[in-house]
Structures are given as structure tokens and as C-alpha cells.
């Protein structure tokens, strides 16, 4: 018995060391791009493109002023906030309704729809769908409006719908039956009973959608070609690398990128507890 305990001691210690090293490596890989972006934004363009020192030789804080002026950050930040918040609200509502129905009701074609939703999690169509989406919005007269852009980014919520469905399945059906006996309709049961219990998983969905919408570049770029006034901060930041002489100004672009990541970092810091609670609850209930 004592031999087994002694044998497990070194193994457990080595396992802990490996776990710590793995976590440290993951932290380095995660934080390095952010640190590099911030430090690169404080260099001159010549120093940045030439490489060499990791830290700036002279701190160029005026890069942030140039980025703010050139990109018209006030305007594009407003567009990004409107787009991200609207898309998040619409996605949360649709995912909550769809997840509830999939979890609680049987209807014709349910298995087919679930199969399609599941397949979309493993098949990435990417840019192939951009033209059909743009053409559809053009046909209905929404290709030059913020509403069309919101609808384009709200689609493709298969993973979030399945997350919500798994969470709802963990809620006892007796609550639905009790609400029905008390005279609640299907919608009344959803709003009064199920929806308040779905807050943790809906917080996770909201964070996922907000992050993806805020960071989206390709879809937003394509959908705003005909109306540049609707461009978001992410699209504007990429345009910063080109000066009036068409020369790449990477230091200005990195300064803009550093400013652009501040809102999403603030959202994560404020909603960190809800995010962790939602993931944990979803894992247990799903």
C-alpha cells in the first residue's frame, strides 16, 4: 500500500508540471499576437518592417492619433456597435426560440432540420455563400442598408441553436406541464418559465455572436462595397495600412487594430463570470 502511494507521488508531480507547462505555452501563444500588435503599433514603419528588436526603440504614440484621424474611428465605431449589438440581440432571440422548439416539440421534418444543423457545424462553406446572400439582399432591396448587413451576420447560428437545445433538454419537463395546467400557452411557458432559466447559456451565445460580429471582416467588406458609409471598424482598420501614396503603413494599421480590440476585451472582462457559468451549465445540462 505504501509502495503504491510513493509510486503515485512522482507521477502526480510530473503530471502537474506537464499541465502547468501546457497552460503556460497556451497563454504565450494566446497573448503573443496581442503583445506584438500593441508594441508594433508604437514603432515606426521602417522599424516594424525591418524587424529586429522586440521593443520599440522610440515609442511612437502619435501613431494612435494618426489612426484615429485617418480611420474616422468615431463613425466606424458607431457602425460596429450598432451592428454587433443588433446582431447579438436578434441571434439570441432566434436561437432561444429555435432551441426551445427543438428540445420541447416534435414536428414533421424535425430530424431532417437537426441533421442539417449538425452538418453545418462540420461543413464550412465560407465565401461560397457570400454572393448568394448578397444577391438575395439586393433582390429584396436590403443590400445597401444596415438591416441587410445585420440579417447576413445573424444567419449561420447552428452551433448556438444546438447549445441552447442541449441546455433546455436539461430543464425538467414537469415545469412545462405545470405551466400548461395553470393555463399557460406554449409561448407563455417559454417566456415565463423557460426563458429565465436559459440566461446562462444565452449569455454564452451573446458573447460568441458579439465577438464574431465585431471581428468579422470578409462578410462586412463584401456587403458594404456599394455603401462605404456602413463600413465597420474592422474594415476601416485594414484600410489604414495604405497611405495616400499607396505605401503600406503597417504601424498605423496595428495602432488601429490595438484600438479596435479594446471594446471586445471590455465585454469579456465585464461578462467573464456569466460566460464561465454558461459554459459550465451547458456542459452539465447538455
C-alpha neighbours within 13 Å on the C-beta side of residue 183: 0
**% residues pLDDT > 90 (the chain):** 13
Distance CA 188, CA 133 (A): 34
Distance CA 122, CA 12 (A): 37
Residues for the chain: how many in total?
286
Confidence of residue 181 (pLDDT cuts 50, 70, 90): confident
In a domain, 185, yes or no: yes
User: How much is the average pLDDT of 254-260?
Assistant: 84
pTM for the model stands at: 0.80
* Higher pLDDT, residue 66 or 285: 66
In a domain, 129, yes or no: yes
Positive or negative, the CA dihedral 229, 222, 40, 80 is positive
Confidence of residue 87 (pLDDT cuts 50, 70, 90): very high
Residue 5: predicted pLDDT: 45
Distance CA 51, CA 43 (A): 10
In a domain, 221, yes or no: yes
In a domain, 23, yes or no: no
In a domain, 57, yes or no: no
User: Which has the closest alpha carbon to 179: 195, 164, 163, 166?
Assistant: 195
Confidence of residue 284 (pLDDT cuts 50, 70, 90): very low
List the CATH number of the domain containing 105. Answer: 1.10.3720.10
Confidence of residue 242 (pLDDT cuts 50, 70, 90): low
Confidence of residue 8 (pLDDT cuts 50, 70, 90): low
* Higher pLDDT, residue 280 or 24: 24
Find out whether 91 and 209 touch, Cβ atoms under 8 Å.
Answer: yes
**Rg of the chain (C-alpha set):** 24
Q: Mean pLDDT, the chain, as a whole number?
A: 82
Residue 41: predicted pLDDT: 86
In a domain, 231, yes or no: yes
In a domain, 135, yes or no: yes
Distance CA 212, CA 216 (A): 6
What's the domain count of the chain?
1
Beta bridge partners of 242: 248
Asked if pLDDT for residue 239 goes beyond 80, the answer is: no
Asked if pLDDT for residue 260 goes beyond 70, the answer is: yes
Confidence of residue 94 (pLDDT cuts 50, 70, 90): very high
* Higher pLDDT, residue 141 or 121: 141
Asked if pLDDT for residue 133 goes beyond 50, the answer is: yes
In a domain, 51, yes or no: no
User: How much is the average pLDDT of 174-178?
Assistant: 87
Residue 171: predicted pLDDT: 87
Neighbours of 213 (CB within 10 A): 24
Q: Structural domain of residue 128, as residue ranges?
A: 64-285
Amino acid at each position: 500500500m505504501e509502495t503504491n502511494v510513493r509510486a503515485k507521488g512522482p507521477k502526480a508531480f510530473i503530471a502537474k508540471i506537464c499541465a502547468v507547462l501546457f497552460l503556460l505555452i497556451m497563454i504565450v501563444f494566446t497573448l503573443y499576437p496581442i503583445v506584438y500588435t500593441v508594441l508594433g503599433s508604437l514603432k515606426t514603419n521602417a522599424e516594424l518592417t525591418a524587424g529586429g528588436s522586440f521593443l520599440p526603440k522610440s515609442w511612437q504614440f502619435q501613431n494612435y492619433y494618426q489612426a484615429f484621424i485617418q480611420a474616422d474611428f468615431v463613425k466606424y465605431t458607431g457602425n460596429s456597435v450598432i451592428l454587433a449589438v443588433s446582431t447579438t440581440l436578434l441571434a439570441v432571440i432566434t436561437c432561444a426560440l429555435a432551441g426551445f422548439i427543438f428540445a420541447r416539440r416534435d414536428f414533421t421534418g424535425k430530424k431532417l432540420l437537426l441533421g442539417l444543423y449538425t452538418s453545418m457545424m462540420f461543413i464550412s462553406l465560407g465565401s461560397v455563400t457570400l454572393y448568394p446572400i448578397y444577391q438575395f439582399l439586393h433582390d429584396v432591396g436590403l443590400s445597401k442598408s444596415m438591416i441587410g448587413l445585420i440579417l447576413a451576420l445573424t444567419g449561420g447560428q447552428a452551433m448556438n441553436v444546438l447549445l441552447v437545445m442541449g441546455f433546455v433538454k436539461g430543464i425538467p419537463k414537469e415545469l412545462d406541464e405545470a405551466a400548461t395546467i395553470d393555463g399557460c400557452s406554449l409561448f407563455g411557458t417559454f417566456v415565463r418559465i423557460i426563458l429565465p432559466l436559459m440566461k446562462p447559456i444565452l449569455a454564452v451565445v451573446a458573447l460568441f455572436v458579439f465577438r464574431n460580429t465585431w471581428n468579422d471582416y470578409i462578410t462586412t467588406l463584401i456587403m458594404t462595397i456599394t455603401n462605404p458609409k456602413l463600413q465597420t471598424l474592422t474594415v476601416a482598420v485594414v484600410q489604414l495600412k495604405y497611405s495616400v501614396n499607396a505605401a503600406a503603413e503597417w504601424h498605423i494599421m496595428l495602432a488601429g487594430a490595438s484600438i479596435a480590440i479594446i471594446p471586445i476585451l471590455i465585454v469579456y472582462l465585464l461578462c467573464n463570470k456569466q460566460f464561465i457559468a454558461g459554459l459550465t451549465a451547458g456542459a452539465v445540462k447538455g
